[in-house]
Chains A and B, each alone.
Chain A
Amino acid sequence: MTDSIDPAAFEARFADYLSHLGGVDVAALASVLERRPVRSGDVLISQGAPHGELLFVDSGILDVTVANASETPHTVASLEAGAVVGEVGVLAPGPATATVSCAGAGVVFALRSSALDALWSQHPAVASSLVQALCQVMARRIRSVEGDLDRLHDHERGRLGDLLNRLFGRAA
């Protein structure tokens, strides 16, 4: 953990995301984040490998890449400063559903799943608000994927590329 993250700058950078946290204590949240410089080519999350962090993109560009048995790997999203990725892993560490790699040098702030518990022991309301918000994010994604499954039920193969992009663009 580090105290080098400026809560005011963090709040400004991630204002959109934090607006869903109901006035969460940003300083408390920032206190359990790990500042991590990244370089072009670094792989932060590897599809299929264990993963358990929420990543806040402070600067740089992260590419989200998906490979599956029927397709060659392809980039489905590029994340810039202010983006957040990894909700699935931080809620339940396990195999990642996409690869996230650096397309440009920058800095990410990582929230480990275990750091959430540390946050709870010191700031239970902050940890509770954050997990509640992450659950809301997951609920939206599951509804969206369920909708995709419904559409896939009737879709012809020619329209699956759009489906892949919409699905895996938010899957990591």
Chain B
Amino acid sequence: MDHAQIESFLTEQPWLRQLEAFDRKALASALQIKEFAVGDEIISQGAKAHHVYLLLEGSVRVEIERDGERQVVRPLEPGSLFGILALLDHRPRAAACVATEPVVVGMLERSAFEVLSHQHARIAYPFQRALGAQLAADFRWAVRQIEHRLVAVS
């Protein structure tokens, strides 16, 4: 994927439609592109966080290990952001993310994310809204898991 393709991809994302074209271009240029093969672990649970990821192509599965067992959380489709939590709170990665198809991601470094957040509010805001929406979805998912577990043991 070249930068023109990335810009085109960003243009298609609903959460970035509010951005001007030159702002999308700036965001695209801040992303580092990386490819992963099927089975590659893009993020390892417990690892230190250096990037937040935008899935550009392929499919990724989120997995959490508990007591030695890997639980599949959910699949991610192109346009999904992942690796958010640890980037925000500077704690170890909460889950693993594994490529289930050949994957292309755009990676935004922590330092770039922090510069964006603190110095370029106009561009940062739609990105932060997307992060927030993903976090809210993650929270709702976790609450549903609790509810299902409670029903199961009641």
Q: How many A-B residue pairs have CB under 8 A?
A: 115
Q: Do A91 and B150 form a contact, CB below 8 Å, given A97-B143, A145-B143?
A: no
* A contact face: mostly helix, strand, loop, or mixed: helix
Partner of B135, one of A128, A129, A138, A149: A138
CB atoms of B132 and A135 under 8 A apart:
yes
> How far, in angstroms, from A88 to B64 measured CA to CA in the complex?
22
Q: Do A143 and B150 form a contact, CB below 8 Å, given A88-B140, A116-B129?
A: no
Binds A, one of B3-11, B24-32, B117-125: B117-125
Interface size on B, residues (CB 8 A): 36
Interface size on A, residues (CB 8 A): 45
A89 to chain B, nearest CB (A): 8
CB atoms of B151 and A145 under 8 A apart:
no
Q: Do A71 and B121 form a contact, CB below 8 Å, given A131-B129, A132-B128, A171-B143?
A: no
Residue with the greatest number of chain B CB neighbours at <10 A, chosen from A127, A135, A143: A135
Which residues of B from 78 to 110 have beta carbons under 8 Å from A?
A: 84-85, 88-89, 91, 94
> How far, in angstroms, from A45 to B150 measured CA to CA in the complex?
23
Interfacial residues, chain B to chain A (CB-CB below 8 A):
18, 64, 66-67, 84-85, 88-89, 91, 94, 117, 121-122, 124-125, 128-129, 131-133, 135-140, 142-143, 145-147, 149-151, 153-154
| 6 A-B pairs with the lowest CB-CB distances in the bound complex, closest first | A70-B154, A92-B136, A91-B132, A128-B121, A138-B135, A124-B121
